[in-house]
């Protein structure tokens, strides 16, 4: 298609791709010397927590099928692809001796991607703490900070000659909220003070890994991936505005500011101090955070947060939660993905990008995840066996229009990655909601079939627009 026939044309060399994570797609959780991580452990001890009892050993088997998958990446138009390294595959005990079979596997993946002109984007941490380190306290513990830096440094040294886009964490708020506030991820603790410590350590480890990376003078960039949930107040009433600001400070700026500006927002520090929740830290930690900000920011966007002032005083006898500062509400008439229950608000992606442009030095960024999970997609299979997922194509187009608009207005956006490439296993929801451009048939040995959205994505990437 000629550029003149397209309505939305993206900048030259735009990164078209998708994101994935080790636990959600490698499978083989006990093979070739991999150590257990918190997901393997939780599944063994509490399998009923997982939808249909499917655990992390039954993810889409990328570990054995990566060659086939990389061909499919090519067929669906990818010029870039994010995966994460499994810390417990590299270091079965979390630190110490590196597992050579893991090194071989990741080398193969990186080399095959490069052979196919697909740039590897590598993330070091996607919710998968090695069990041995969780037993030391996981992200709460200072010893784990040092273990992470050792792991990151090893990955840079082994793969950094070829990998030129590195990410220290994916969505560091998720282990904080799911693991330490709302009980969705192991260790499923409810403890605000610990949650703050975990958040602080994720920022410290990110800065320390960046420092390590830069000391090696490798030829690439390093960043972090944050899920930003724009916080929209119910009204312009000062109390609603204040509530929305507090939600933004807790869920977004607690990671955005240290990652990009090298400091925590003063207002956030005051809020935490008032409740006695400041984390413990060592002399020099804040300097490390200040001096090691990111080159590049990945933005995962799924949904906004609708916020209003608290209507009742919080119950001081209940465990302290972020919702002590604000209430959320159901905005009348909002559009919702009925399967996942998440609001769909496309303009949110534009608001995030404009905020980065205006308040974060227009840092180089890309959309690192955006996607729609849908149940029972076999309903939409046509006579040729292809899932007709028109809804997903519309979802992407509707978001891409706003990404395009932000770029027109000067935002420094380099790419768009969808979640995700092949239907994969999702934390507690297992295979309930499917997100892929390619389907996986669990009854036919994980057979892959490109969906209509996969063909569309190829066209989008080839035309560099739509």
Q: What does the binding site for ligand BGP look like in residue numbers (CB under 6 A)?
A: 21, 24, 170-171, 227, 300, 340, 369, 373, 419, 426-427, 429, 433
Contact present, 301 and 345 (Cβ < 8 Å) = no
- Work out how close the CB of 97 gets to ligand BGP at its nearest, in angstroms, rounded to a whole number: 29
The DSSP string of 43-102 is HHH-GGGSGGG--GGGS--HHHHHHHHHHHHHHTT-SEEEEE--HHHH-TTSSSS--HHH
Residue bearing tokens 């000062």: 238
Strand-pair category, 165-170 with 231-233: unpaired
Q: Which residues, in sequence order, are CB contacts of 38 under 8 Å at separation 6+? A: 128, 129, 131, 134, 138, 185, 186, 187
CA angle 315, 318, 322 (to 5 degrees): 80
Task: Quote the least distance from Cβ 105 to ligand BGP, whole Å.
Answer: 20
**Given the complex with ligand BGP, which of 24 and 231 has the nearer CB atom?**
24
Shortest approach of ligand BGP to residue 446 CB, angstroms?
A: 18
CA distance 207 to 210: 5
For 277-297, the DSSP string reads: -PPP--TTHHHHHHH---SEE
Q: Which two tokens stand for residue 392?
A: 């997903």
Q: How far is the CB of 274 from ligand BGP (least distance, A)?
A: 30
Neighbour tally for 321: CB within 10 Å: 14
Q: Considering the complex, state which of residue 83 and residue 213 has its C-beta at the smaller distance from ligand BGP.
A: 83
Q: How far is the CB of 315 from ligand BGP (least distance, A)?
A: 29
Q: How far apart are CA 290 and CA 270, in angstroms?
A: 19
Tokens of 64: 């054995």
CB of 24 to ligand BGP, least distance (A): 6
Query: Rounded CA gap, 357 and 407, in Å?
Result: 10
Active centre residues (catalytic): 171, 369
For ligand BGP, the closer CB: 277 or 342: 342
Closest CA to 208 of 138, 277, 284: 284
Structure tokens at 26: 């490698």
Using CB positions, name the residue nearest to ligand BGP. 426
CB closer to ligand BGP, 127 vs 148: 127
CB 244, CB 307: distance < 8 Å: yes
Closer CB to ligand BGP, 257 or 369, in the complex: 369
**C-beta closer to ligand BGP: residue 231 or 433:** 433
CA distance 272 to 241: 19
Closest CA to 295 of 214, 375, 179: 214
CA distance 420 to 249: 28
Nearest-approach distance from CB 182 to ligand BGP, in angstroms: 13
**Smallest gap from residue 22 Cβ to ligand BGP (A):** 10
Nearer to ligand BGP, 223 or 373 (CB): 373
Could you tell me the smallest distance in angstroms from the CB atom of residue 427 to ligand BGP? 5
Which of 134, 426 has the CB closer to ligand BGP? 426
Kindly tell me the burial class for residue 137, based on how many C-beta atoms sit within 10 Å of its own C-beta (0-12, 13-18, 19 or more): middle
Considering beta carbons, is residue 156 or 419 the nearer one to ligand BGP?
419
For the purposes of burial, counting CB atoms within 10 Å of the CB of 305, is it exposed (0-12), middle (13-18) or buried (19 or more)?
A: middle
User: Residue 186 has which token pair?
Assistant: 């192991």
Tokens 């994916």, located at residue: 170
């Amino acid at each position: 298609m000629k550029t003149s026939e397209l309505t939305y044309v993206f900048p030259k060399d735009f990164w078209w791709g998708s994101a994935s994570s080790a636990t959600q797609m490698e499978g083989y959780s006990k093979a070739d010397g991999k150590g257990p991580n918190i997901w393997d452990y939780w599944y063994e001890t509490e399998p009923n927590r997982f939808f249909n009892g499917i655990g992390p050993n039954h993810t889409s088997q990328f570990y054995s099928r990566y060659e086939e998958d990389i061909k499919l990446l090519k067929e669906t138009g990818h010029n870039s692809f994010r995966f994460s390294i499994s810390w417990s595959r590299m270091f079965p005990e979390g630190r110490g001796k590196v597992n050579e079979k893991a090194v071989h596997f990741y080398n193969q993946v990186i080399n095959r991607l490069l052979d196919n002109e697909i740039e590897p984007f590598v993330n070091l941490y996607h919710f998968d703490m090695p069990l041995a380190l969780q037993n030391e306290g996981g992200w709460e513990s200072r010893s784990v900070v040092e273990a992470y830096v050792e792991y990151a440094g090893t990955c840079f040294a082994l793969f950094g000659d070829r990998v030129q886009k590195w990410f220290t964490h994916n969505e560091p708020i998720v282990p904080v909220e799911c693991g330490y506030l709302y009980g969705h991820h192991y260790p499923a603790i409810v403890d605000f003070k610990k949650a703050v410590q975990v958040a602080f350590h994720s920022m410290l480890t990110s800065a320390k890994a960046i420092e390590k990376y830069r000391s090696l003078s490798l030829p690439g960039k390093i960043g972090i991936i944050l899920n930003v949930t724009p916080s929209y107040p119910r009204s312009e009433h000062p109390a609603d505005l204040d509530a929305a600001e507090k939600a933004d400070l807790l869920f977004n700026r607690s990671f955005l500011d240290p990652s990009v500006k090298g400091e925590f927002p003063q207002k956030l520090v005051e809020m935490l101090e008032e409740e006695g929740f400041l984390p413990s830290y060592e002399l020099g930690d804040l300097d490390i955070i200040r001096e090691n900000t990111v080159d590049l920011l990945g933005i995962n966007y799924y949904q906004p947060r609708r916020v209003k002032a608290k209507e009742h005083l919080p119950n001081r006898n209940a465990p302290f939660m972020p919702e002590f500062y604000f209430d959320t509400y159901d905005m009348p008439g909002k559009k919702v993905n009925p399967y996942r229950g998440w609001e769909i608000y496309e303009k949110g992606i534009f608001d995030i990008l404009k905020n980065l442009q205006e308040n974060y030095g227009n840092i180089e960024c890309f959309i690192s995840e955006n996607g729609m999970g849908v149940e029972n997609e076999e309903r939409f299979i046509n006579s040729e066996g292809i899932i007709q997922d028109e809804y997903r194509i519309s979802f992407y187009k509707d978001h891409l229009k706003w990404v395009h608009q932000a770029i027109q207005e000067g935002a420094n956006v380099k790419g768009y990655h969808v979640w995700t490439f092949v239907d994969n296993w999702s934390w507690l929801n297992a295979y309930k909601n499917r997100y892929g451009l390619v389907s996986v048939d669990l009854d036919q040995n994980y057979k892959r079939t490109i969906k209509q959205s996969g063909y569309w994505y190829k066209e989008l990437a080839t035309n560099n627009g739509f």
